[in-house]
Amino acid sequence: MPSIRAKADISSLPAIRDYVLNIAREADIKGDVPPKLDLVLEEVLVNVANHAYGKHGGEIEVDCSVKETSDSRTFCFQMRDWGIYFDPLNVDKPDTTADIDERPIGGLGLLLVTTLADDCQYTRHDDMNILTLSFNV
Amino acid sequence: MDFNNTKNGDALVVIVSGRMDAITASEFDAQCQSWIEKSETKVVIDLSGLEYISSAGLRSILSAAKKMKGAQGELLFCGLSGMVEEVFNVSGFAAMFKIYSTTEAALAG
């Protein structure tokens, strides 16, 4: 399956969403994995769109694959960007017990990603950030 | 995202349907602003028709709740299920807000 390359911008969300969910559909992946994919792909795209590049913007590349062993099946989603070094797995977790007055606005996207994906890996390779999220299917 | 508003006694019941994502979430902010301008102080948000919510949606809801509280009002929620309910649980929103199973329960609460 070829990868998809798009502007690191929220306007790319519909195209990336169609790309990822179509691959999941073709692989006959059902249950709660497609809704989880739907959510995490938005969260990681928004994160890169807001933080990876300066005002000149940049691109992202996404691909998906299904890995099968004799006793397991895993859907892998990978997003790559060429922005500043950023490890989304190494950020402080927001306080989810604070009340309405004390709660800062924002910071929940990456918490949703790390909670919903079964496995998360981040690698910096040369000038590229690589985030791989896996889901047991 | 669609909003269907019905006045029920002192409360405003808002049925939200569709997707609350990074592209559409600002519509919720605009709606909340109109409730505050109309001096609504008890707004029951029925999410049973909401297919999807991301952190951008949570951001709008929290921002709206802060503004409502500042105007001596409050947001109550009902009809959560599936991924919407899971997102509320993971984020702690389920504990932070008053959540009811049905609109009737929210109106009585």
Residues of A in contact with B59 (CB under 8 A): 105-106, 108
Q: Is the per-residue pLDDT at A2 higher than 90?
A: no
Type and span of the H or E element at B17 = strand B11-20
Q: Is the per-residue pLDDT at A1 higher than 80?
A: no
Rounded average pLDDT per 10-residue block, chain B, 109 residues? 96 97 94 95 97 97 95 96 97 97 95
Q: What is the largest CA-CA distance in chain B?
A: 34
Residue span of the structural domain in which B62 resides: 15-108
B98 domain residue, yes or no = yes
B45 domain residue, yes or no = yes
Q: How far is CA B33 from CA A41, A42, A118, B6, B29, in A?
A: 29, 26, 38, 17, 6
Closest-CA residue of B relative to A109 is B55
pLDDT tens column, A89-120: 999 999 999 999 999 888 899 999 999 999 99
- For A4-136, CATH gives 3.30.565.10
Q: How far is CA B15 from CA A125, B7, B37, B51, in A?
A: 47, 11, 19, 12
B5 domain residue, yes or no = no
Would you state the pLDDT for residue A15? 97
How many domains does the structure of chain B reveal?
A: 1
Q: What is the largest CA-CA distance in chain A?
A: 51
Helix, strand or coil for residue A103? coil
pLDDT tens column, A76-92: 999 999 999 999 999 99
Would you state the pLDDT for residue A55? 87
B25 domain residue, yes or no = yes
pTM given for the model: 0.94
Domain ranges of chain A: 4-136
Of B23, B82, B96, the CB nearest to A13: B23
B54 in A contact zone (CB under 8 Å)? yes
Do the chains contact at A43 and B59, CB–CB below 8 Å? no
pLDDT tens column, B47-56: 999 999 999 9
| Spatial contact of B70 and B100, defined as CB atoms under 8 Å apart | no
Residues of A in contact with B55 (CB under 8 A): 43, 46, 106, 108-109, 112
Rounded to the nearest 5 percent, the helix, strand and coil shares of chain B are 45, 35, 20
Chain B: closest CA distance from residue A54 (Å): 19
Residues whose CB falls within 8 Å of the CB of residue B29, separated by 6 or more in sequence, listed in order: B60, B63, B64
Q: Give the CATH number, domain containing residue B94.
A: 3.30.750.24
Q: Is the per-residue pLDDT at A123 higher than 90?
A: yes
What value does the mean pLDDT of chain A take? Answer: 95
B27 domain residue, yes or no = yes
B30 in A contact zone (CB under 8 Å)? no
ipTM score here? 0.92
